[in-house]
């Protein structure tokens, strides 16, 4: 497999997700508490159905290519960087599975609660920071690979 192509796909996918997570964190989640109580469950259900296809496949591509980079490492990228980048992806997945998805499930089933809303918005910073850090590290090494 071509390490450069794997790296490029990982880089592009990560930066797509960086942009998406910042939009979700700073715009989309900030509007959740402005939806009326009667409409919130429908809104949250629609959110889950609409966001999944635009975040799920890229997350799968990102974790797969991050894993492949551990095997097919591009030159000039230290192994520890690739391991740390993979650990960040795993952290994002764990945060998603054990914090954000359960919050969304409770918001879908029970309706809006301030506690779940605040936990969702506050804990989402975990993913926002990890994705941003990954993106910056990958961009740095992309610049090294181009020179």
Per-residue pLDDT of 76-86, as tens digits, reads 999 999 999 99
Give the pLDDT band of residue 1 (cuts 50, 70, 90).
confident
- What pLDDT is attached to residue 117? 97
CA distances from 11 to 7, 25, 64, 103, 107 (A): 6, 21, 12, 29, 33
Q: Residue 54, exposed/middle/buried by CB under 10 A (0-12, 13-18, 19+)?
A: exposed
Judge whether residue 37 has pLDDT over 90: no
Q: Residues 94-99: what's their mean pLDDT? A: 98
Q: Residues 42-54: what's their mean pLDDT? A: 96
- What pLDDT is attached to residue 36? 85
Domain enclosing residue 59, as ranges:
3-146
Q: Residues 69-73: what's their mean pLDDT? A: 97
Q: Residues 115-129: what's their mean pLDDT? A: 98
Number of domains the chain contains: 1
Taking the model in full, what pTM does it have?
0.95
Calculate the average pLDDT of the chain: 96
- What pLDDT is attached to residue 147? 85
Q: Residues 26-45: what's their mean pLDDT? A: 94
Percent of the chain with pLDDT over 90: 95
């Amino acid at each position: 497999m071509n390490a450069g192509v794997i790296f490029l796909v990982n880089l592009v996918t990560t930066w797509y997700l960086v942009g998406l997570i910042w939009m979700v964190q700073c715009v989309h989640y900030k509007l959740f508490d402005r939806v009326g109580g009667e409409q919130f469950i429908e809104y949250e259900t629609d959110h889950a159905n609409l966001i999944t296809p635009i975040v799920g496949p890229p997350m799968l591509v990102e974790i797969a290519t991050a894993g492949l980079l551990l095997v097919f490492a591009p030159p000039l990228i230290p192994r520890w960087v690739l391991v740390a980048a993979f650990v960040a992806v795993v952290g994002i997945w764990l945060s998603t599975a054990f914090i954000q998805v359960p919050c969304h499930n409770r918001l879908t089933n029970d309706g809006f609660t301030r506690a779940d809303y605040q936990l969702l918005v506050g804990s989402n910073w975990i993913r926002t920071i990890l994705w941003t850090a990954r993106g910056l590290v990958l961009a740095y090494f992309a610049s090294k690979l181009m020179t």
